[in-house]
Structure 1
Amino acid sequence: MAKARKEKRTREKESDWQERVVQIRRVTKVVKGGKKLSFRAIVVVGNERGQVGVGVGKAADVIGAVKKGVADGKKHLVEVPLTRANSIPHPATGAGGGAKVMMRPAAPGTGVIAGGAVRTVLELAGVKNILAKQLGSDNPLNNARATVSALDNLRTLQEVADERGIPVENLYG
């Protein structure tokens, strides 16, 4: 009986995670006998409650590449501090390759104002109100990684107060 309950709980935890494929690209490698064809999948994995990760998978078929991308994304999860308005606590920037992403918190009702891979990462992180802009490269992988980098740099008021060794009330002073 307990084993069945445990299996159900693990299945529920697995179903919490959502995955979205950002890009599938056909790639080739030149080898001695000619060209070897494979697929690269960029996948974003998140639970819409403050955890998100970006993964890349390569395989001979699309399904295999997506599975590998999901596994890679779950290995590279970051925690995102969310406010009561389902936004971020402060403005942030992130970089990944040649891409830069700028993000600002927004008031409730604003929605996710972002494009491409940035929008996908923010939605799966559980952010509902935010303003974001891609700067530099338009490569989906670099933009997704830049977004994760920016989300990883976010800190709450409590974390800043603990680092400085002062109460939260004194931060406003």
Structure 2
Amino acid sequence: MARSQKEDRSAKGEREDTEIVDKLVGINRVAKVVKGGRRFGFAALVVVGDQRGRVGFGHGKAREVPEAIRKATESAKRGMKRIPLREGRTLHHDMKGHFGAGHVILRAAPPGTGIIAGGPMRAVFECLGIQDIVAKSVGTQNPYNMIRATFDGLQSINSPRMVAQRRGKKVSEVIGKREDPAVSAPAQE
């Protein structure tokens, strides 16, 4: 009993869906005034990720909240991106991202720091699988622009493997030896 390729893909797709975590960032309600009252509509903003380096966001609009969330989740799954992480817990280097009036500063952090970030950025980092990061948003507090600015910063990450490949060198040549700050700092008396 051989299964077709389509059945294999659907089984694989079901397995991937069970691993994906989604976080609802916000719901907006809008009212349209019509003869006889108001018509309400809802817009949902959702972030999804596999907590192993893939993350995406999406938004959906509908007359009912569950339908808006479903549309947003499907949109986020379609637009997932892979982000390289250092040791699977933090960023490779510090970076800035912006979108419109939203500016974010993302900084790698030592183990045990946790996620120090606010609101929408925290949802992105939790879905991405980052455990140690310090982030600051400057400018707008609009969650849509904050998430887009965060993604702008995350997409500019260059892992040592990517830099080495671009330069035609080995990863060890690009990284070099990292010095221990306790050893290299002179003793203060």
Between the aligned partners of 1:16 and 1:28, the Cα distance in structure 2 is 36
1:37-82 per-residue CA deviation (whole Å, 9 max, x = no partner) reads 2100000011101011110100000001000100111122111111
Q: Larger relative CO (CA 8 A, sep 6+): 1 or 2?
A: 1
**Which residue number corresponds to residue 167 of structure 1?**
170
**Which residue number corresponds to residue 89 of structure 2?**
86
Amino acid in the other structure paired with 1:77: M
Q: Is the 8 A contact 2:91 2:108 kept in 1?
A: yes
Match of 1:118 among 118, 121, 124: 121
Unmatched tracts of structure 1, length 5 or more? none
Between the aligned partners of 2:40 and 2:23, the Cα distance in structure 1 is 23
1:159 counterpart SS class: helix
The structural deviation recorded for 1:34 is 7.1
Amino acid in the other structure paired with 2:75: D
Between the aligned partners of 1:14 and 1:53, the Cα distance in structure 2 is 13
Q: Is the 8 A contact 1:85 1:129 kept in 2?
A: no
Aligned length: 173
Q: Is the 8 A contact 1:94 1:146 kept in 2?
A: yes
After TM superposition, the structure 1 stretch with the greater mean CA deviation from structure 2, 140-149 or 51-60, is 140-149
Q: Which has the larger radius of gyration?
A: 2
**Which residue number corresponds to residue 156 of structure 1?**
159
Q: Percent identity over the alignment?
A: 39
Amino acid in the other structure paired with 2:20: W
Normalising by structure 1, we get a TM-score of: 0.89
Between the aligned partners of 2:74 and 2:12, the Cα distance in structure 1 is 20
Between the aligned partners of 2:36 and 2:100, the Cα distance in structure 1 is 33
Normalising by structure 2, we get a TM-score of: 0.82
Q: Is the 8 A contact 2:109 2:134 kept in 1?
A: yes
The structural deviation recorded for 1:168 is 2.5
Unmatched tracts of structure 2, length 5 or more? 177-189
The structural deviation recorded for 1:148 is 1.4
